[in-house]
Amino acid sequence: MAGTKTIDADVAIVGCGVAGLYCALNLPHALRVVLLAKTTVDECDSMLAQGGICVLHDPDDYESFFEDTLRAGHYENRLESVDMMIRASRPIIDDLIKRGVRFARTATGELDYTREGAHSRPRIVYHEDITGEEITTHLLACVRELPNATVFENTCMTDILEGFDADGRRVCRGIVAEDAGGAHLQVNADATVLATGGVGGLYKHSTNYPCLTGDGCRVAAEHGVLLEHMDFVQIHPTTLWTQKPGRSFLISESARGEGAILLNDAHERFCDELQPRDVVSGNILREMRREGAEHVWLSFERVPREELEHHFTHICEQCREEGYDIFSEPIPVVPAQHYFMGGIHVNSDSETTLPHLFAAGETCCNGVHGRNRLASNSLLEGLVFAQRAADKIMRDRFAADTAAQLAVAASERSRFVAGSRDVTDVALLCGAE
Ligand code: SIN
């Protein structure tokens, strides 16, 4: 392409949310990694996640964590994916802590656990009401220190590149992108990971950044890559009602987990606040319709003042800026688009149906969430399956290197061994399993 800057890399990662960053961090330093952020690196939804990140509380929690995830997802989840996510959760949290991520602690220094809707027990670790920012900022700092990774901001993927492998199969060969000044970039890469986030930018009322417009899904669809459950869109029950335009401000579900209650105009409770999100959103919208109201109310009167001050600091601040004092009055809340459970179909190694093309995070569908995601499973799912993508890229690379070495060995040996030999024969000759 004329006037196009071309970079040769081993892995191209599109998106700098937790999925993209964690994939980069789990790749060996020997691989050259290029990451793209469509706008600035802070404009990703991972930064906005408030409530926390789920973790298997203890081995006895496995069954109920599994069941809670399935019940929220209407039992349309992929069981294998749910199992992988839950089993990987504790090592992931340990790794985040090693990387410097701070989670709330009890007075005795143990991890503190909060609760959100549809969780049968507290199993969510958190950092104030800005858990996503805490995790993403640390991962970003770690990526910035990688000797093998380069981050391009304000660079939007416009397409993926296709080619053919040695067996004549169509494969992904990297991406093309455009920066804010209109300059073109081509990244040739053996593996490409789409971690482009969700679709909230396509909605009038969403908690997502407007730049999140489903780019990964669009490009995948244009290349005939399988998409799945494109109608599985989650509406979060509580965002701060406002007449101002722009992104809807989330009022974390952990507020209800810690005792906040929903009220109608007559200041009566009208639903169980700790049901799954789709159920609570449905109840709110019905109540609004019944009353002809533009919102309902969320009251913090049952949440201890200390909890409000220390756990919900940023929500308190944002409400104060909008003219509400959550210590003394209910705030107006309304449901808004929040999350996308469908997306690019991937297997449990985050591979799409186009070889060498992976997808992780909100842009993909690995089936963990079923029809409706359980609160605080998103950061965890993004991290677990980004790590699995990195592991698979590494295994493929090792297999390719081994195959190349074996091919060299084969040609060497063919001087001594009569007849042609394929890699398997040579592997046997070399004593490989
Ligand atoms: C919330 O804090 O309610 C949002 C976190 C999530 O989407 O799980």
Residue 137 lies in a domain: yes
Cβ-based neighbour number of residue 305 at 10 Å: 9
Task: Please report which helix (H) or strand (E) contains residue 207, including its range.
Answer: none
- The count of structural domains within the chain is 2
Task: Tell me whether residue 173 is one of the annotated catalytic residues.
Answer: no
Q: Using the 3D structure, point to which of 291, 319, 337 is the last residue of a domain.
A: 337
**Mean pLDDT of the region 108-125:** 97
Residue 60 lies in a domain: yes
Among candidates 324, 364, 42, 426, which has minimal Cα distance to 193? 364
**Binning pLDDT at 50, 70 and 90, where does residue 293 land?**
very high
Of all residues in the chain, what percent carry a pLDDT higher than 90? 91
Indicate if ligand 1 lies below 6 Å from the C-beta of 378.
Answer: yes
Residue 269 lies in a domain: yes
**Binning pLDDT at 50, 70 and 90, where does residue 413 land?**
low
Regarding whether 189 and 252 lie in a shared domain, the answer is: no
The predicted structure's pLDDT at residue 408: 79
Average pLDDT score over the chain: 94
Residue 415 lies in a domain: no
Residue 420 has pLDDT above 90, yes or no: no
Question: What CATH number is attached to the domain comprising 312?
Answer: 3.90.700.10
**Mean pLDDT of the region 135-142:** 98
Regarding whether 365 and 303 lie in a shared domain, the answer is: no
Regarding whether 153 and 286 lie in a shared domain, the answer is: no
Task: Tell me which residue range forms the domain holding 190.
Answer: 4-232+341-397
Residue 428 has pLDDT above 70, yes or no: no
Regarding whether 259 and 224 lie in a shared domain, the answer is: no
Regarding whether 369 and 254 lie in a shared domain, the answer is: no
Among 154-158, 173-177, 192-196, 422-426, whose mean pLDDT is lowest?
422-426
Residue 420 lies in a domain: no
Of all residues in the chain, what percent carry a pLDDT higher than 70? 94
The predicted structure's pLDDT at residue 421: 32
Regarding whether 114 and 58 lie in a shared domain, the answer is: yes
- The catalytically annotated residue of 256, 277, 371, 421 is 277
Regarding whether 143 and 50 lie in a shared domain, the answer is: yes
Distance 203 CA to ligand 1 centre (A): 18
The predicted structure's pLDDT at residue 430: 32
Distance 135 CA to ligand 1 centre (A): 14
Distance 382 CA to ligand 1 centre (A): 14
Q: State which of 114, 115, 234, 236 you would mutate to test the pocket of ligand 1, scoring each by most atoms of that ligand within 8 A of its C-beta.
A: 236
Distance 117 CA to ligand 1 centre (A): 10
Question: What CATH number is attached to the domain comprising 389?
Answer: 3.50.50.60
Regarding whether 69 and 210 lie in a shared domain, the answer is: yes
174: left (phi over 0), alpha (psi -120 to 50) or beta: left
Regarding whether 249 and 227 lie in a shared domain, the answer is: no
Residue identifier of the C-alpha nearest atom 1 of ligand 1: 252
The predicted structure's pLDDT at residue 433: 34
Regarding whether 352 and 301 lie in a shared domain, the answer is: no
Residue 169 lies in a domain: yes
User: Cα(198)–Cα(182) distance, rounded to whole angstroms?
Assistant: 24
pLDDT digits (tens, 9 = 90+) for 350-359: 999 999 999 9
Regarding whether 314 and 267 lie in a shared domain, the answer is: yes
139-154 residues labelled b (16+ CB within 10 A) or e (exposed)? bbebbeebebbebbbe
pLDDT digits (tens, 9 = 90+) for 34-93: 999 999 999 999 999 999 999 999 999 999 999 999 999 999 999 999 999 999 999 999
pLDDT digits (tens, 9 = 90+) for 79-92: 999 999 999 999 99
Residue 3 has pLDDT above 90, yes or no: no
Indicate if ligand 1 lies below 6 Å from the C-beta of 50.
Answer: yes
Regarding whether 376 and 310 lie in a shared domain, the answer is: no
Indicate if ligand 1 lies below 6 Å from the C-beta of 375.
Answer: yes
The answer to whether residues 19 and 382 touch, using CB atoms and an 8 Å cutoff, is yes
Indicate if ligand 1 lies below 6 Å from the C-beta of 69.
Answer: no
- The pTM for the full model equals 0.91
pLDDT digits (tens, 9 = 90+) for 321-345: 999 999 999 999 999 999 999 999 9
Angle at 350 between CA 392 and CA 87, to 5 degrees: 85
User: Cα(108)–Cα(325) distance, rounded to whole angstroms?
Assistant: 32
Residue 329 lies in a domain: yes
Residue 278 lies in a domain: yes
